[in-house]
Structure 1
Amino acid sequence: ERRKREREMSAVLLLLASLLFQLVAAEVVSCPDQQSYCNCSSTASVCEFILRIEYRHTFTSYKLFGSNNQQSFDGEGYFLNRSGYIPTVQQDGDCNFDDPRTRPFTGSDFTRRGCSVPMTVDGVNYRAIIAINGQIPGPTLVVTSGQTVHIRVVNSLVSQSVSIHWHGLFQKDTPWMDGVGFVSHPPIDPGSSFDYIFTAGQSGTYWYHSHVGSERADGLFGGLVLRDPDTFFEQVVRPQILPEDSSSILVDSPELHTITVIDWMREHPNDMFVKMNDSLFFFPDAPVSTVPDRSNTPHEESDLIDGTGTSAVPYWSGLINGRGRFDSNTLAPLSVFSVESNRYYRFRLVGSNAMLAFNFSIDGHTLRAIASDGSYYQPRDVEYIVIHSGERYDFILNTTNPNRGQTNFWIRAETLVDTSPRQSVLAVLSYTNGNDLDWRNGYSNIPDARPTCTSASPCRVLNCPFQQYPAGSALTCISLMNLSSLFPPPTNKLPKFPPSSSCPDCIHFLNFGFDGPRDDSFINGKSLQLPNTAYATNCAQYTSSKSIINTCDRCTVNTTSGCRCIHVIPIANAATFDPNSDEHESIIMIFSSLNSPDTHPIHLHGHNFQILYTGYGTYDSNGKVTSPSTDLVCDTVGNNICVTPRWANGTPPAGLMARVSNGRVIGSAISKDTVMVPGYGYVVIALQADNPGYWFLHCHIEFHQALGMAAIVQEYDPLQHKAPPPNINNHGSFQWSVEEFKQFQDDGSTCADSIASTGGAPTTGGISLSQTKFGVMIGVIVLLFIVVVVMAIVSCAYFVYRRKVTTRHERFR
């Protein structure tokens, strides 16, 4: 009996020690060169990562050194043939081997010598890229909702600044961690580093990417997954997404089944941007970096199936998880995703597209779409999912009945450009772990198993950028308005429609398009010029001098051109933000594309929003859009520059009002953070202003944004914004600890508090780092004191217990 109780007490002590350890545990996650994922344990309270950004070259192997093999030097060039990787120059180096032409030569031959595997991208594209931890895309970061995330981004580029945006994360109370250069914080200079620290307060599929220039199109992006807590997913989500089969195995391995897709540029994106900005033609049949002549054919803008425009840049190739094929070239390794039979798998699809949308499918399988942009909706079985730039879709794949006994299937992402055959990107779904696949024979053993679509049984396409496919196509569109949220918000969290009449800046009509004689990139005739200092990190400057905030107030759109200015859109500016309130000001935004028939995926930072309504233009009998929606009109200036869009009859259309109930948006409307605006159409979104700060709003097509199709949303008066951490504006590296971050967050200073504490003098924070470190020291002392007290109490209790047991034992004797 005594020994049993002693064991029980020892177990209690071990449990207390374990709980205390978990309370302060932080995991430094290993992210070595070219590892495709970095997974943080769900038991850690803090997840720490290092992302190193550097130039690398395709078809090149580098000698690796340093901690986690995260640095490189001495590149050796390779090319591909049927034997494998072949050195371009015959020499004996660290990553150049004695004549490998006599045998197959694979990636493991490089790793055994401490060298990186050459990135072959599309099999032919030989140029410099921007890599994250030695690869494109960067590693998928996997954390669990509720953890504190600390990511040190090291800029090892020679001459380019960078910033990293955590796409889809709200960054509540941390707007200066949103990662938009010159808006959230100053860009990270070459040779410097920046510590992003935030709380993973959401769950779902997200991603990260550069928000400086056109670096994303050069490879600077990667996946980011915030896992649901296990109990929530198993007990709440799973029964609703797989109600017919609650006992089968559901595999959710984001480190293995996250898919990124991008259209790849044959030239450096900066070259492409300059050509687009200067209205120069692209000549796909001319060699790169040579002057085209009249024997070369200029590229006409790529049109979608419905005739709307989508890209002035010609399609070259595409990549799935960094691999693809150019044109008909079959000699290139593709990405392989492994599954087993008789399972359900959760896949996560990330639209890292630079310019074009893709129609995604997996031969021989139906996709059960369950979530988009981090929000669950009632499951829909479809054959295709259209993925636009910035969007994410989660789907369940059933591997119970592989088609016709096949073991390998094509994963396809086809552009919606009106060409035949379709421009496509390929990867492989393998039931054999890829053991029977060989890229050197072009994967010739994989048959075509596309879904059979007929007029009697048309294939279902989720998220079309147009109202419907042309008649006879055997494809039917499922609009996002046809989806229903799996977890509708409570009534007080549903935005009001219309917003309060006492809030003059709570409804905004915003037209995105290429207007005027030069087809400039505008929102309401204004093209964004970024500020020269970050708004979110300069409390005093942008509250004491309001004219600095929105320079568009001093610009008038004239008859020949729009305005190039700092375009700031205020929302709820006159309201007072109460962080303890259950309801906040309702905001309605109408995104349109009226003057030019171009599609635009629009992303709003700092929020998700409910999709209230989508309106389309007028279509002819062939399914081609011919004119803008009649629901809206736009007052134009000069050469067709749209400056003031509004409802055509002064009131919203009946279809929109059907999605309003008791003065609020219907609860079933799904939530997203990125939405496609159809050419000549519009989308109405609704949200509550619950996140004070400066938030970027922009078209997510890389060059559209870079050309100025963006604005800065100012949510509430800047005095109500969270004060930024000290020293964040200093040139050079910005580094701080999780303890300093938490102490700073506990202080909770607003810009008003920060200015008041300095008598109105310019400042960038509520408390200094010295104060923070002092607070951290006090916190550590208090924590140690608590530990000592707890251990003393436990020890005393154990001592008393032992005395009682001993006394009883002696009496028994």
Structure 2
Amino acid sequence: MKSSVPGLLSVWELVLFSFAEAATVTYDFNVTWVTANPDGDFDRPVIGINGKWPIPQITANVGDNVVVNVQNLLGNESTSLHFHGLYMNGTAHMDGPEQVSQCAIPPGSSFTYNFTIDQPGTYWYHSHTHGQYPDGLRGPLIIHDPDSPFLGQYDEELVLTLSDWYHDLMTDLLPGFISKGNPTGAEPVPQNALFNETQNLKVKVEPGKTYLFRMINMGAFASQYVWFEGHNMTIVEVDGVYTQPAEAEMIYLSAAQRCSFLLTTRNETTANYAFVGSMDTTLFDVLPDDLNYNVTGWLVYDDGKPLPHPAFVDDLDGNTFDDMTLVPWDNQTLLGEPDKTVELNVIMDNLGDGANYAFFNNITYRAPKVPTLYTALSTGKLATNPAVYGGYTNTFVLEKGQIVQLIVNNLDTGRHPFHLHGRNFQAVYRSAEDAGTFEDSNVTEADFPSVPMRRDTFVLYPSGNVVLRFRADNPGIWLFHCHIEWHVASGLIATFVESPLDLQNTLTIPKDHYEVCVAGNVPTVGNAAANTHNLLDLSGENRAPDPLPDGFTTRGKVALAFSCLSGILGIAVVAWYGLAPDPAAHAGVEKRVAEADVVDSSVGDIGAGPSTAREFVMASSSGDGNRGARA
């Protein structure tokens, strides 16, 4: 059956996948600029692959070896690829973040990603360089599973992406976002929402069939509510983790989250039905006039029938599904009490340059001069010392096999979708909004679920807290960060360095990976400051701007003193001016006195009161209450 939705596979094609042996799947990607207009409002440059956009879907089977040959033909920007949600077990150097597991790929250079996939599910790939993926370098990555517990329960599958869309390039938006001209840190708001990188998407369906939808939010900022009018969803996977089936009328997908669900169509073709993605506008500081926060698609049963208008999210009776209630299919029980606890406080604040930044524990991330993985490989036994990775990378060193508990306290009033590279995690606790820190919650080990849900991207509520748990069984350099791309750019990142001595014994960096570093003039040995002589000397490392000073600086004190003195002098001048005689009135009195002297010389005494005209004029001019009592 043909469909306007890419990635549609029949059950027979999936059966063929189940009999296929592990293979090598190769993709050759020339990364280039192209022009696109996905919302019909505005032509703009986008980052495409092989001259096309949207970019290709990567598809493989569990056990396949995937090779992605990347050539950067952008001309004016470096790039990289991160394969979001893949654990990269044994191939940590293929994870993709710039200055973390590799150097960025400069214009004109090539780079090969080569890894074996041992996990099924719904993923995506995107640039992990300079906030670049909202410009278009983002696409689905689907791993089919011959042993899926749901393989026989649906007839066909399709991939459906959500995204937000900006009319301006990130290179134009980022400088204004992180600047003293934006002291509140208000994030740029997108213009539109998209389904499959377009609008008004039509999905042709047949009556009485069950479809597996693989839905991915590839947006930079907006979380979205999703519902299918006249149909229910049965959730069977989130972020690559199979779940016990769970019914939902409406789901909430943050940036980077994925959700797969079964949807059974109606038995008649009497009508078509809208499905909707609606941005969570509470994330936005402002609602611009050009914001279209809804995107609509249709399940088309009959091309001859009209496409109905959708309901508004506020008009629906359905509740948004709570992902904390999901139960993993494998019933993995709660990991034991932690060997190591890492507590991170989320803060948004200004630094000395006047711009607003994002912080974990008062540290806003700055990329090191040497990629963190290369520091781990080149610093010998000191690789277990967090200091060699720099003062601005928020690094925590983990030992092999440790059970790690990660507590995140949101001291900010916004939602944050946090993503961990290299694995998924058990989400063992999430507080309500405005609950304060975990310490305030009075929650104990006994309150955690025996079988917690798992995923790799999890939403932290405003002024609330979460508790995540995982086992350190995958040596590598793994970021933990908010997946709102604006917050990545403003520094909301921590680094887990896992089993660095094991990495030194097992990992070999390919020649072409080092070649892009040479092309980009990026050092590959030493500590975060590229110091190879004294690994604990971080002089010259990349630093965040200095913090705002406590109280007043000397310059501020001088400015305050002058301001106060100017204020006092200004008040004195106003008072003096107000109390001084009116020069014009004084001149008039003098004239009238002179005239009175003339009168006095000719008229003489006129009775009681001022004895002379001079005295009368002087009395009138002095404000005497009796002036004019007599003629």
- TM-score normalised according to structure 2 size: 0.73
Residues 685-726 of structure 1, C-alpha deviations (whole Å, 9 max, x = no match)? 111110011111111001110111112211123454532234
Q: Who is 1:161 aligned against?
A: 78
8 A Cα contact 1:513 1:521, kept in partner: yes
How far apart are residue 281 of structure 1 and its match? 5.2
How far apart are residue 400 of structure 1 and its match? 2.8
How far apart are residue 540 of structure 1 and its match? 4.5
Task: Determine if the alignment matches structure 1 residue 587 to structure 2 residue 404.
Answer: yes
Q: Who is 1:480 aligned against?
A: 323
Q: Who is 2:212 aligned against?
A: 346
What SS does the corresponding residue of 1:528 show, helix, strand or coil? coil
Residues 57-93 of structure 1, C-alpha deviations (whole Å, 9 max, x = no match)? 12xxxxxxxxxxxxxxxxxxxxxxxxxxxxxxxxxxx
Task: Name structure 2 gaps, 5 residues minimum.
Answer: 519-524, 526-532, 536-631
Residues 529-561 of structure 1, C-alpha deviations (whole Å, 9 max, x = no match)? 11223232455423365599646865xxxxxxx
Q: Who is 2:159 aligned against?
A: 258
Q: Who is 1:514 aligned against?
A: 348
8 A Cα contact 1:37 1:139, kept in partner: no
- CA distance change for structure 1 residues 567 and 37 in 2, over 3 Å: closer, same or farther? same
What SS does the corresponding residue of 2:281 show, helix, strand or coil? coil
Q: Who is 2:465 aligned against?
A: 682
What SS does the corresponding residue of 1:191 show, helix, strand or coil? coil
Q: Who is 1:405 aligned against?
A: 270
Q: Who is 1:603 aligned against?
A: 419
**Mapped partners of 1:611, 1:539: distance in 2:** 29
What SS does the corresponding residue of 1:176 show, helix, strand or coil? helix
**Mapped partners of 2:63, 2:327: distance in 1:** 26
Q: Who is 2:141 aligned against?
A: 224
What SS does the corresponding residue of 2:34 show, helix, strand or coil? strand
Residues 131-165 of structure 1, C-alpha deviations (whole Å, 9 max, x = no match)? 12334432222211111111112211102111110
Residues 184-235 of structure 1, C-alpha deviations (whole Å, 9 max, x = no match)? 1111121222211111100010000000011111000000010111xx22xx
The 10-residue stretch of structure 1 (445-454 or 126-135) with the greater mean CA deviation from structure 2 = 445-454
**Mapped partners of 1:597, 1:451: distance in 2:** 26
Q: Aligned match of 2:370 in 526, 533, 539? A: 533
Q: Who is 1:105 aligned against?
A: none
Q: Who is 1:706 aligned against?
A: 489
What is the letter of the counterpart of residue 250 of structure 2? Answer: Y
Task: Determine if the alignment matches structure 1 residue 460 to structure 2 residue 377.
Answer: no
Which aligned pairs between 1:284-683 and structure 2 lie closer than 5 A?
A: 312-324=187-199, 334-401=200-267, 405-406=270-271, 408-418=272-282, 423-432=293-302, 435-436=303-304, 445-448=306-309, 450=311, 458-462=317-321, 479-489=322-332, 494-497=334-337, 499-500=338-339, 506-516=340-350, 518-537=355-374, 540-543=377-380, 546=383, 550=387, 565-572=392-399, 577=400, 584-594=401-411, 596-618=412-434, 629-632=435-438, 647-648=439-440, 653-654=442-443, 657-659=446-448, 666=450, 668-683=451-466
- CA distance change for structure 1 residues 551 and 699 in 2, over 3 Å: closer, same or farther? farther
**Mapped partners of 2:126, 2:406: distance in 1:** 25
8 A Cα contact 2:296 2:310, kept in partner: no
**Mapped partners of 1:367, 1:654: distance in 2:** 33
- CA distance change for structure 1 residues 687 and 539 in 2, over 3 Å: closer, same or farther? closer
Q: Who is 1:637 aligned against?
A: none
8 A Cα contact 1:38 1:140, kept in partner: no
**Mapped partners of 1:46, 1:314: distance in 2:** 41
**Mapped partners of 2:386, 2:341: distance in 1:** 20
How many residues are treated as equivalent by the alignment?
500
Identity %: 25
What is the letter of the counterpart of residue 525 of structure 1? Answer: N
8 A Cα contact 1:351 1:391, kept in partner: yes
Task: Name structure 1 gaps, 5 residues minimum.
Answer: 1-33, 59-119, 243-249, 283-299, 302-310, 325-333, 438-444, 463-478, 501-505, 555-564, 578-583, 619-628, 633-646, 661-665, 735-750, 752-759, 763-813
What SS does the corresponding residue of 1:566 show, helix, strand or coil? coil
What SS does the corresponding residue of 1:529 show, helix, strand or coil? coil
What is the letter of the counterpart of residue 380 of structure 1? Answer: A
Which aligned pairs between 1:192-211 and structure 2 lie closer than 5 A?
A: 192-211=109-128
**Mapped partners of 1:527, 1:125: distance in 2:** 35
**Mapped partners of 2:266, 2:448: distance in 1:** 39
- TM-score normalised according to structure 1 size: 0.57
8 A Cα contact 1:551 1:567, kept in partner: no
**Mapped partners of 2:314, 2:484: distance in 1:** 31
- CA distance change for structure 1 residues 461 and 135 in 2, over 3 Å: closer, same or farther? farther
**Mapped partners of 1:527, 1:733: distance in 2:** 25
